[in-house]
Structure 1
Amino acid sequence: MAGPLGRITRHTQNLLEVARYGGLRTGELPSEFEIADRGVHHRLRRYVTDLPADAPAIVLVPPLMVSSEVFDVSPQASAVRTLAAGGVQPWVVDFGSPEHEPGGLDRTIEDHVLAVDQAVDFVRKETGRPVHLAGYSQGGMFCYQVAAYRRSKDIASITVYGSPVDMHGSTPFKVPAPVAQTGARLLSGTANRYSLPGWMTRTGFRALDPIGAVTGQISFLWALHDREALLPREGQRQFLMRDGWVAFPGPSLAYVLEQFVLHNRMLSGGFSVAGRAVSLADIDVPVLTIVGEVDEIAPAATVRAIRQAAPRAEVYELSMRAGHFGLVVGSAAIARTWPATAAWVKWREGQGELPEEAVAVPETEASPAPRERLEHNLELAGSIAELTARRIAEEAAHPVRRIQRLFTPAAQIPRVARAVGLRGSTHESLATVFDRRAAHASETVGFLFEGLVYDYGVINDRVDRIVRGLIIDGVEPGDRVGVLMATRPTALALIVALNRIGAVAVLLRPDGDSAREAALGEVSRVYTDPAHEALRPAGIPGKAFILRGGAESADGVNDLEVKEQDAPPLPKWYRRNPGRADDLAFVFFTGHRARTRMVRVTNGRWALTAYGTASSAQLSDRDTLFSVSPLHHPAGLLTAIGGAIVGGSRIAMLSDLEPETFWAEARRYGVTAVSYTWTQLNALVEAAPNPAERDHTIRLFFGSGLPRGLWRRVTERFAPAGVLEMWGSSEIGAIMGNVSGTKIGAVGRPLPGSAKIRLARFDLETGEIARDASGFAIPAAAGELGLLMASDKATVRDLDAQTDVFAPGDSWHATASLFRRDADGDYWLEGVVEEIIQTVAGPVLPAPVGAVFEELPNVTSAVAYPLTDASGTDVVVVALSARKDVGAAALTAAAWRLPAQTRPAIVHLVDEMPLSSAGRPAGTVIRSAGVTGPAWRYDPKRDEYRPMTKAALAKLAATPPA
């Protein structure tokens, strides 16, 4: 009986000890350390070792809900002791227990990232060398974020243990991604008010494996008689069961849910730290990922996504059969994880070999599209039915109800309803929508510019300060005020402020004749930024203006921002956002020199385009738009900015499209959609491959004027991103979109809310609409050229309408645009009336001619224009920019696709295609420069192009252009 009695006695004694102290007293002491540095939210531990001062060092970062003792659970399971034994000096960032720290439960993710950033600075100064960072779970995410925030400065390498990057591709515990995202959306708004206490995080972790937790406790209790067998693992057990868990601050939890779970910005980029936009694509130091093959919290796919998120980094992987906790604590971790980490650090320091188990992860030439991009594209394709339905507003008694019955995604119904329901008296304007957006999400990042982030609320407050400044400066409702600025937040804030007052923003072009445009626009004053102050027309008052602070700060030029306490009371006439849909809001300009003309846009026209863009492009708060189009072009303010604000998307503003920096900024901002006008994307397509281009997050390019050849090159190079080509009449509320993107070159069909449109057959010979015997316009049949006629919805009030056009009593506005409509109902833009070239062979529309040559393999851009030859008659000339010489045979083959009478008389190369500020090839500039060669002349007898001699070119140059 001595054996069983002794066993019972020992069991009872140990059980009483567990009941009294929470576990067996092991007598073990933690590894010795000193507090080397302190911050507001952390303490930096330097562990005491016998290592020399020049030993390589590593900074270990714990996750939020687990205490820093995870790296020193017990002498038998101590990361810091194993690292020291391997010749690496350990440092540990200790965030403490938030519930016991002053303000700890109010900590944000940014607070933790900046704490690690401070630790890096300290260790770098102490050791005199770049720092090796290592983090467990969310601690590894902190390491990534710090390295990205610092642009890898003073970082030698990064090691992570079960740290997820792609929160959508493979969610924990195989929870469906839509379910996880829906939960994140529901919780993110309230999570910042509630912190998770330590007991809850502990219980949650144990609940992930309830059977294992129960069986583990039963096994422990059953073995209580054998103290010696239990003691080596008792520290680990107590850590998991009691000591290792701390509270998760509410604001940090809300940020994780919104930015990483919902918007997946660890993968796509675009989260912010200390007011700066951050992307993991800025990491260019080696990364070692320790992957758990049976890790349910951070599945292997979520960890391996660092390859896509950081395309410039060398990525290595060590895979082991372990769960999430077993990666850093336990026998497998002591045997493999920490020795491999020590070896990795020493290898990077040139003191050893790469660990045998660490395998380099190859770069991905082309990887599958992220799931969210695929979902977006499928959703976009599924929306064709309702977005391209013809004449919904006129053919249904209840258009919104009809759209709901069709295939409209639920998120688009309110937008379509607003577009369809616009009336002249509707209070809808840029300022109104901006106000609504700021009220709904004042603390949400709305704008990104030059690496900095701006919340909607901050920008809206600045708009109000600019309003006060404008009123003090004498601006009143109805005044026409010139804006001559680059595309930047300052310009947008000023435009919104003018719209908020009820004034008209006259958008002067930096490359236009500002004096002529100011006269046409009847402006009373002109506001500029410092770069364009010299272009302000003489004799017109104005100021140079830029937003205070941030990337746009400048001394002495911020005199329009007036704080409320510094301003006199607002005048009695002031009403916030008074604009109605039929009020004139903006004036744009088109043409050059004597052909410069105004394009007037009402609030309703702006709203129609904004809602149409947001609906057809499926823009949402998941998107970040790269606004490449300039604000002085309708596509910039109406399509890009308007669509993004209505859609709730973030706007990354770009002053100039520079291929050298485009991809770095796109990854930094997490760009998913890019606006364009004309050939702006050409520079991007022709640029050398960029590492950040791989696995990009862009799902859609949208805009207007994209040439067919460039369209193909964009979709081929940047697949799976699609193209949404749109078209809108300048002053009439007609808007079309090629929602499916399948017909390259087509502008698609009218969007919901668009004015009713119809094509009147057009005679190029006479330059007039073809009419029947009764004098009514003949509708253009499928395939026939027609002048686009539109109803008067969202149209400038004083724009003259034509009556009795197709039938007695009807009323239509004539545009200047010529289209063909195919048998499917899709529209194809052929040109505008004023561009028709009258040649000896007959009238020619230049746009289709240039399009044929632009599609040649080596041609990057083409433009057709008229040139008066020595006989005094106009001929068609095509200018090409090309990667290399284009042969006569290729030109002849292209010309054969055109009717004989439209083939250009001369084709010539230019060194660089001159472009307008909106990216449109400038035929007038080329015409003024003359044909210098290489050039080819069309020989109608041989039906081929032949090179022009120097003498022929000289003779041509002697004829001044008309």
Structure 2
Amino acid sequence: MVGIPNIGRALDRVVATAQNGLEVIRMGGLDTGTQPTPFRVEETSPMYRLRRYFPDDLNGGPPALLIPPMMVSANVYDVTPHNGAVSILHANGIDPWVVDFGSPDQEAGGMERTLADHIVAISEIIDLMHEETGRPVHLIGYSQGGMFAYQAAAFRRSEQIASLTTFGSPVDVLAALPLGLPANVMAPLAELFADNVFNRIAIPGWLARTGFQLLDPVKAARSRIDFLLQLHDRDALLPREDQRRFLEADGWVAWSGPAIAELLRQFVVHNRMVSGGFVIRDSLVTLAEITCPVLAFVGDADDIGQPVAVRGIKRAAPRAQAYESVLPVGHFGLVVGSTSGAHSWPTTSQWILWQEGTGPIPDEIAPMPDNPEKSVGSGVSLSSRLTHGLGAFADAGAGVSREVVHAAGSFRRTSQAVIRESVRTLPRLMRLGQIQAGTRISLGKLMSENAERAGHRELFLFEDRVLSHFEVNRRIDNVVRGLIQCGVRPGEHVGVMMETRPSALVAIAALSRLGAVVVPLPPDADLARMLRLADVVVVIADPASLEQCVEHAERVLVLGGGDVRSIPGADGDRIIDMEQIDPDQVKVPSWYRRDPGLGGDLAAILFTSAGGTVQQWPITNHRWAMSAFGAASATAMTDNDTVYCLTPLHHASGLLTTLGATVVGGSRIALSSGVEPESFAREVYRYGITVVSYTWTMMGDIVRDPELAITEHNPIRQFIGSGMPAGLWADVNARFPNAGVIEFFATPDGAAILANVAGTKIGSVGRALPETNRVRVAAWDVTEERFQLDARGFVREAGSDEVGLLLAQTRQRYESGATVLRDVFGQHDRWETSGQLVRRDVDGDHWLMGSVHGVIKSADGPIFPQPINAALSLHPDVDQVVVYPVGTAGSQLAVAVVSPRVRTNALTVSSLRVALAGLSAAERPHIIWAVDEIPLSHSYRPLADSFRAQGLPKPSARVWYRDDNGRYRRLTRTVLAEKEWILSSAESPQQVRSF
């Protein structure tokens, strides 16, 4: 009889299980009797319905907008009515609103929604709420909803946004992908899916749910088993039934394909939540423009929004005060469940009240710590995974291996980095090595290839405008038609005088596509002489350069807008406004071939000034390609990069290195409105600049500005250019410790291309780039200006640290414009002379000493300008340096002119002498002359012409001479009259008497 009650209880359990199971099968779950929290739809649009909760009990509190992720129903904030987000917020005096995007598969046009559509919708809602309540809005977002909140705040530049609160919302996405998946594998896969899968299909709600569960299959299986085991106990199941039904069925909505593709492309492949420069409706956006305070909830067992990724907001938004609240939960537990009811939402309410000035700072928050730049692991500890049931499956994954096997992981990541660089670099080098005289290669052709391969991607960023490869390519084709209409033919030399703007790049590319020769014209040189040297009849100008060009050119084609009718001669013949030409009305002649340029064809003519004389540099397509492919490989340029093109296009560094490497790398090109600290700081974040181009001293005023509004958390990884003084280089390294400097050097004919790729030796120009011409240093007699020979009669190669002449070995016979020597180091070799003196150190790196004709030939022996320039530029108070000779060969004096960083008399002779301590007395300048300012060229090169014209400086308290003991003393009139070596070096006796 004892077993009868047990049998009865067993039967009751079976019956209860059957009843509850039948209800689950029929209704999808148990009837909990709960009712959704009341709300009123305040606004509807094709994109959303805006809910305002507790419409009959408005508390007049601060308005808060809750944003769900794309794949989760808006009901996530009301899963458990008495313990859900909207109820707790309302109970604490907050006015909760929720944006309901609906399910895209059930909305008209929903499956065509883009990521930008969501951001713009949120921005519109903020305006609506602000208009309704008269108060700024607090944004709250879970998971991707938090990403939306960040992006909308950045899009609005924090206007009418009081604060941001996010839950498990990743910012530095590639720092910690779900389950520790490696970024170098997932980023290419994400790009593949964005370009080839999600542009055709979407993700239905059931697949979103399945994907979420697969991220933690052990926990999902355990939850189902627990539910089945307790199916007989209705009272035990009811408290969690609403949450279970939400996760198992009701909480998931479809993802539109375009929105997923954009998410993957911008925020996974390119990780632009951190770097900035993402695009919302043709506007450039960066989280760096978020200025409102941020509270991020972090789950220490969250394997989706991992702590390292979430804390990326600290780096991405340096101007925002960032706080965090760490909870012992996974991703979903941050917003739904007992922990969220007890901690997340009460803390959020206290946070909002604190921001409103009506409550104290919450106990559960703390300032967010800096994320280590090279952190190990995801931030989800092994103990957290074990404690919170992520179990053996996750423990065996890549995420745990980062922490348990750190050494092995480090080796693996290093190996992957090497392999990844090889995969990216080798094809470029192979293509460069295959370019021959008859190979079709040109700037225009490479831009055509990029447009065919990635036409939809951004190319030009300028003044908040974004142009894709396709749009730029179409503009190039239209300009080509305009050039044809204006009578420009293939092979014709066409000048280009334009500021560095999109229209200038388009003009250069269009001339390349037509097969004409580009002649970039610097605005601060002898224009008439340059036009004559380069045989230029037609010049393309922007409106700002028009008057200067009209004065010297026979015909001027105006590109880039502006009213040219007021210019004398603007009759449509001598001055033609190309913007008025309709490309569709231009008949393309039969001779036109798109991108006809061959490797041996002349592509461009650049200019240089040697000894005050303007000389031309002929650049073939092969020479251009050598620089472009070499620079792209040296800088590891990819389509992840955004290059800040500050370099003038008439400078070799701008046309060959910056533009060339950017096109080869498929990178974005950001053009600046001006080179000054304020715009630099603003645009680095807005564009997401990763690579900055420069020439000479261009970066001086920027990096030395104490008010420069750039923190250590910025996206810049590389500075590339040529001519940077050693002192400025050191300052760049100090100001941007996480970025490198790659200094390029190319000989005037382009035969030798060197780069300091490692960037560790300040002032060195490094070594020849792979697959470019081999270089050697020939022993050179500086005084006699001739080679030194060995016992066989061949030229002797200079030893380590011996000054010699740089030569480049030519492999192509079609190059022109340089002196080619044969049988130099051995029989049948061919070498081009560079005219540049260098020394090669024991590691094989090269250091410039100056040009052959720039050596100062003093009575004490040769003096090289470059070491003097480098030594003085490293002086902490020196801004610019120029060195020039005075006198005749054999008795010349070396004069070093320095200007201070601050316009005071802070420079002292003792400190300048210390700066020169690394040079022997015979290598130092005879005279040091401190001036207020040294003029700069249009490419920021310090100019010595005005000082050279004066010869010896007049005696003053700011002029010092080197005495017989190598010390510097003030140059007075008495000293000037007594020193025979000064008198003998003067241009004429009258020059001395005039002092």
Encode CA deviations 1:844-898: one digit per residue, 9 max, x unaligned: 32222222211223323322123469x9965423323334612222222334433
The answer to whether 1:542 aligns with 2:550 is no
Structure 1 equivalent of residue 214 of structure 2: 207
Alignment pair present for 1:907 and 2:928 = yes
Ranges in structure 1 where 5+ consecutive residues have no aligned partner: 386-403, 549-555
Give a deviation string over 1:74-125, Cα, whole Å, max 9, x none: 3134211111111111111111101111121121111111111111121122
The answer to whether the Cα contact below 8 Å between 1:546 and 1:558 also exists between their aligned partners in 2 is no
Matches of 1:602 and 1:693, distance apart in 2: 42
Give the equivalent residue in structure 1 for 2:405.
none
Alpha carbons 2:961, 2:969 under 8 Å: kept? yes
| 733-742 vs 472-481, greater mean Cα deviation | 733-742
Residue by residue over 1:475-524, the C-alpha shift from the partner in whole angstroms, topping out at 9 and shown as x without a partner, is: 11111111111111110110000011111111011222223322222212
Give the structure 2 partner of residue 483 of structure 1: 496
CA shift for structure 1 position 733? 2.5
Per-residue deviation at 1:586? 1.0
CA distance 1:381–1:290, change in 2 (3 Å): closer
Provide the residue aligned with 1:122 in structure 2: 128
Per the TM alignment, residue 43 of structure 1 is displaced from its structure 2 partner at its CA by 1.9
Residue type of the alignment partner of 1:640 = T
**Displacement, 1:527?**
1.5
- Residues 863-902 of structure 1 aligned to structure 2 (within 5 Å): 863-867=882-886, 874-883=893-902, 885-902=906-923
Task: Tell me how far apart the structure 1 counterparts of residues 595 and 614 of structure 2 sit (CA, whole Å).
Answer: 31
Asked if 1 retains the 8 angstrom alpha-carbon contact of 2:40 and 2:55, the reply is no
Separation in 1, partners of 2:938, 2:681: 21
Task: Please say if 1:923 is aligned against 2:944.
Answer: yes
Counterpart selection for 2:967 from 928, 944, 961: 944
Question: C-alpha deviations, 1:373-409, integer Å up to 9, x for none?
Answer: xxxx999999999xxxxxxxxxxxxxxxxxx9xx981
Contact residue 609 and residue 639 of structure 1 kept, 8 A: yes
Could you tell me which residue of structure 1 aligns to residue 689 of structure 2? 671
Q: Is the alpha carbon distance of 1:618 and 1:961 closer, same or farther for their aligned partners in structure 2, counting shifts above 3 Å?
A: farther
Shift of 1:287: 0.2
> Aligned pair in 2 of structure 1 residues 784, 939: CA closer, same or farther (>3 Å)?
closer
Q: Kindly provide the amino acid, as one letter, of the partner of residue 908 in structure 2.
A: G
AA of the residue aligned to 2:166: V
Distance across 1 between alignment mates of 2:314 and 2:69: 22
Q: What residue number does 2:596 align with?
A: 578
Aligned match of 1:61 = 67
Q: Check conservation: 1:737, 1:747, Cα contact below 8 A.
A: yes
Query: Once the 2 structures are TM-superposed, how far is the Cα of residue 604 of structure 1 from its aligned partner?
Result: 0.7
Is 1:330 aligned to 2:348, yes or no?
A: no
Aligned residues of 1:611 and 1:646 also touching (Cα < 8 A): yes
Report the more deviating stretch, 280-289 or 650-659: 650-659
* 1:857 matches 2:876: yes
Instruction: Tell me how far apart the structure 1 counterparts of residues 442 and 412 of structure 2 sit (CA, whole Å).
Output: 28
C-alpha contact (below 8 Å) 1:601/1:730 kept by paired residues: no
Once the two structures are superposed, residues 233-271 of structure 1 have per-residue CA deviations (whole angstroms, 9 ceiling, x without a partner) of 322221111110001111222222222222211112221
What's 1:140 paired with?
146
Q: In structure 2, give the amino acid aligned to 1:475.
A: V
**Structure 1 158/419 Cα, relative in aligned 2: closer, same or farther at 3 Å?**
same
CA contact (8 A) 1:484 1:508 kept: yes
SS of residue paired to 1:723: strand
Instruction: Return the offset for 1:178.
Output: 2.8
Amino acid at match of 2:305: A
**Greater mean alpha carbon deviation, residues 432-441 or residues 850-859:** 850-859
Offset, 1:951: 9.1
| Inter-CA distance 938–799: structure 2 relative to 1 (3 Å threshold) | closer
Shift of residue 70, structure 1, vs aligned partner: 0.6
How far apart are 1:471 and its partner, in Å? 0.6
Matches within 5 A, 1:210-229: 210-229=217-236
Cα separation, 2, equivalents of 1:888 and 1:568? 67
Distance in structure 2 (CA, Å) of the matches to 1:516 and 1:382: 54
CA distance in 2, matches of 1:224, 1:925: 93
CA positional deviation for 1:961: 11
CA pair 426-179 structure 1, distance change in 2 beyond 3 A:
closer
2:787 paired with 1:764: no
Separation in structure 1 between the aligned mates of residue 758 and residue 416 of structure 2, nearest angstrom:
9
TM-score using structure 1 length: 0.90
Q: Is the 8 A contact 2:859 2:891 kept in 1?
A: no
Letter in 2 for 1:850: N
Residue aligned with 1:187, SS: helix
Q: Distance in 2 between matches of 1:558 and 1:661?
A: 33
The reply to whether residue 45 of structure 1 matches residue 51 of structure 2 is: yes
The answer (yes or no) to whether the contact 2:893–2:927 under 8 Å persists in 1 is no
User: Which residue among 528, 543, 556 is the counterpart of 1:530?
Assistant: 543
In structure 2, what is the Cα distance between the partners aligned to 1:502 and 1:307? 50
Cα distance between partner residues in 1 of 2:74 and 2:53: 13
Question: Does the residue aligned with 1:591 lie in a helix, a strand or coil?
Answer: strand
1:249-648 superposed matches below 5 A = 249-361=256-368, 368=374, 409-540=422-553, 541-546=555-560, 559-560=577-578, 566-591=584-609, 595-648=613-666
Alpha-carbon distance change, 128 to 866 in structure 1, aligned in 2, over 3 angstroms = farther
Specify the code of the residue in structure 2 equivalent to 1:463: I
Instruction: Say if 1:846 and 1:876, in contact at 8 Å, map to a contact too.
Output: no
- Note closer, same or farther for the CA distance 1:842–1:210 as it changes in structure 2 (3 Å cut): closer
Change (3 A) 1:296 1:790: closer
Match of 2:831 in 1: 812
Using the TM superposition, name which of 255-264 and 838-847 deviates more: 838-847
Q: Which amino acid aligns with 1:629?
A: T
Q: Corresponding residue for 2:808? A: 790
1:91 to 1:601, Cα distance in 2 relative to 1, 3 A? same
Q: Output the amino acid matched with 1:533.
A: L
In the TM superposition, residue 709 of structure 1 has moved relative to its aligned partner by 2.5
- Contact 1:867-1:874 at 8 Å conserved across structures: yes
Deviation (angstroms), 1:789: 2.5
Residues 1:240 and 2:253 aligned together = no
**Aligned AA (1:761):** A
User: 1:266 & 1:523 partners in 2: Cα distance?
Assistant: 47
Q: Write the letter of the residue equivalent to 1:500.
A: R
Residue 229 of structure 1 and its aligned partner are, at CA, apart by 4.0
Compared with structure 1, are the counterparts of its residues 351 and 408 closer, same or farther at alpha carbon in structure 2 (3 Å cutoff)?
Answer: closer
Matched residue type, 1:313: A
Deviations 1:906-951 (A, max 9, x none): 2132333422222221122444578586523224234311234599
The 8 Å contact of residues 59 and 94 in structure 2, kept in 1 or not, is answered as no
SS in 2 for 1:781: coil
Deviates more, 1:878-887 or 1:52-61: 878-887
**Cα drift, residue 218 of structure 1:** 3.4
**Quick one: distance in 1 between partners of 2:577 and 2:45?**
39
Deviation at 1:298, TM superposition (A): 0.9
* Poorly superposed stretches of 4+, deviation over 6 Å: 369-372, 377-385, 562-565, 772-775, 950-962
Count residues with an aligned counterpart.
929
Distance 1:371 1:631 in 2: 44
Q: Report the Cα distance in structure 2 between the residues aligned to 1:202 and 1:961, rounded to whole angstroms.
A: 90
- Aligned-pair CA distance for 1:725: 1.9
Distance in structure 1 (CA, Å) of the matches to 2:460 and 2:730: 30
1:1-42: per-residue Cα shift (whole Å, max 9, x none)?
576555544443332222211112233322222222233322
Which among 720, 723, 729 is matched to residue 702 of structure 1?
Answer: 720
Give distance in 1, aligned partners of 2:155 and 2:947: 45
**Partner SS, residue 728 of structure 2:** helix
Equivalent pair of 2:744/2:755 in contact (CA under 8 Å)? yes
The structure showing larger relative contact order (alpha-carbon pairs under 8 Å, at least 6 residues apart) is 1
Deviation at 1:369, TM superposition (A): 8.2
Structure 2 residue matching 1:233: 3-state secondary structure: helix
Aligned-partner residue type, residue 68 of structure 1: A
TM-score by length of 2: 0.87
Instruction: Return 53-62 or 280-289, whichever deviates more.
Output: 53-62
Q: Distance in 2 between matches of 1:743 and 1:380?
A: 26
Cα gap change, 1:26/1:285 in structure 2, threshold over 3 Å: closer, same or farther?
Answer: same
Q: Distance in 1 between matches of 2:969 and 2:528?
A: 44
